[in-house]
Amino acid sequence: GGSCSDKGDISSSTTTSSTSATVYLVLGELTLYPVTEDAPVGYLAALMPTASYSNNLQAPVEYTIVVQDDNTRNRRANGAPLPFALDSSSGVLVVDGPLDAETTPIYTFDVLIQGTVSPFPSKLIEVEIAISGVLCEVPFFFSDTGSVPCFPTTECDVGYVEVTQPTLTSDRVCSNDPNVVEQKREG
């Protein structure tokens, strides 16, 4: 998941006769998609909000990721650019580089949505993309009987000691033989 916060209007004014009118952009919703660290280049991460003009003007807008020298959150710790690409006309955000949920679980950056006709109204929004890790496969231990799964963390019952550790095909071997118990305690 992620979030979008409207940072406000960067509006322009135009004067007609003796009246002043401010034209601004009206934004729809930001749509975020689940992104895992193994997402391939081109994977859809988000759709930027649609934008319309407050005066119902029918004209396109342009979308731009804002990366400023003083805005270090728009870059990863190692100085590399964001691993995302934004289509300037459609507002489609896709994965454009390697992701690693352990080193950077969340990417936060600004997107400028700019009108393409005078008075060129714009809005700056904050976009947050959360990256999910991929589960590594853990060996699964099976009981010798083949019917009961067992795990390497399963302990021997109270009063028993471990004689051999489990393997991928064998259970942990535990014993309550007094000689074995005493030998394990001394060893």
Read off the pLDDT of residues 5-41 as tens digits, 9 standing for 90 and up: 444 444 333 333 323 468 899 999 999 999 999 999 9
Q: Is 77 or 156 the better-scoring residue by pLDDT?
A: 156
DSSP state of 138: -
Band (pLDDT 50/70/90 cuts) for residue 167 is low
Tokens describing residue 125: 């929004």
Q: Is the dihedral of CA 176, 180, 183, 184 positive or negative?
A: negative
Write out the H or E segment, with its range, that includes residue 86. Answer: strand 84-86
Query: 94 - beta bridge partners?
Result: 44, 85
Q: What is the pTM for the complete model shown? A: 0.60
Q: Is the dihedral of CA 160, 162, 164, 167 positive or negative?
A: positive
Q: In this structure, are strands 106-115 and 92-95 parallel, antiparallel, or unpaired?
A: unpaired
- CB atoms inside a 10 Å sphere around CB 100: 12
pLDDT of 183 above 70: yes
Cα–Cα distance between 31 and 23 in angstroms, integer? Answer: 25
